[in-house]
């Protein structure tokens, strides 16, 4: 057999081998990405927490007020704002406003996700809720709900 043909044959085998290895590595990467997406179910949006809490409390979401603003969750008893814990002050203001507009008890759901510690936010909001009679709940990234 000719040396050039033998060299070409090994070259083609080598390229084929590299191609197969590349496909295996790429398919492994794709499978890892798919598994990561399936396992990491805690990338909820605020609206996901809102829907879950509304189901839990039997409320209506995005209730439209006469001024065009929307109550996150409205029940027969509560006008509820839902927001991330670090936005507690904004949530308190909205809950009080919705309460005045709907003649319902103000409620605030603090989402405990995306941060390591929430204690300082809960301590701050607790001072306000005692003064203004706001009902507070928390919902965590596992969708566990608690009244505080």
CA 124/CA 101 separation, integer angstroms: 25
Q: What is the pLDDT of residue 118?
A: 81
Structural domain that includes position 118:
46-147
3-state DSSP helix/strand/coil % of the chain, to nearest 5: 55, 25, 20
Identify the top-confidence range among 1-5, 38-42, 77-81: 77-81
Helix axes 119-132, 88-102, angle to 10 degrees: 30
Q: What is the pLDDT of residue 79?
A: 97
Task: Identify whether residues 83 and 138 lie together within a single domain.
Answer: yes
Task: Identify whether residues 30 and 54 lie together within a single domain.
Answer: no
Task: Identify whether residues 26 and 70 lie together within a single domain.
Answer: no
Task: Identify whether residues 77 and 23 lie together within a single domain.
Answer: no
Task: Identify whether residues 57 and 117 lie together within a single domain.
Answer: yes
Task: State if pTM tops 0.75.
Answer: no
CA distances from 102 to 29, 77, 82, 137, 144 (A): 52, 10, 16, 20, 27
Number of domains in the chain: 2
- The pairing of beta strand 135-140 with beta strand 145-147: antiparallel
């Amino acid at each position: 057999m000719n040396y050039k043909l033998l060299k070409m044959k090994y070259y083609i085998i080598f390229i084929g081998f590299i191609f197969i290895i590349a496909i295996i590595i790429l398919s492994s990467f794709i499978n890892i990405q798919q598994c990561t997406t399936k396992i990491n179910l805690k990338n909820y949006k605020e609206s996901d927490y809102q829907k879950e809490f509304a189901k839990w409390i039997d409320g209506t979401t995005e209730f439209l007020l006469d001024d065009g603003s929307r109550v996150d969750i409205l029940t027969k008893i509560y006008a509820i704002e839902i927001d991330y814990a670090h936005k507690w002050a904004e949530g308190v203001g909205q809950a009080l406003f919705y309460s005045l507009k709907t003649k319902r008890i103000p409620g605030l759901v603090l989402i405990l996700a995306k941060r390591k510690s929430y204690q300082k936010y809960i301590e701050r909001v607790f001072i306000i809720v005692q003064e203004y009679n706001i009902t507070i709940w928390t919902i965590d990234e596992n969708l566990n709900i608690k009244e505080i």
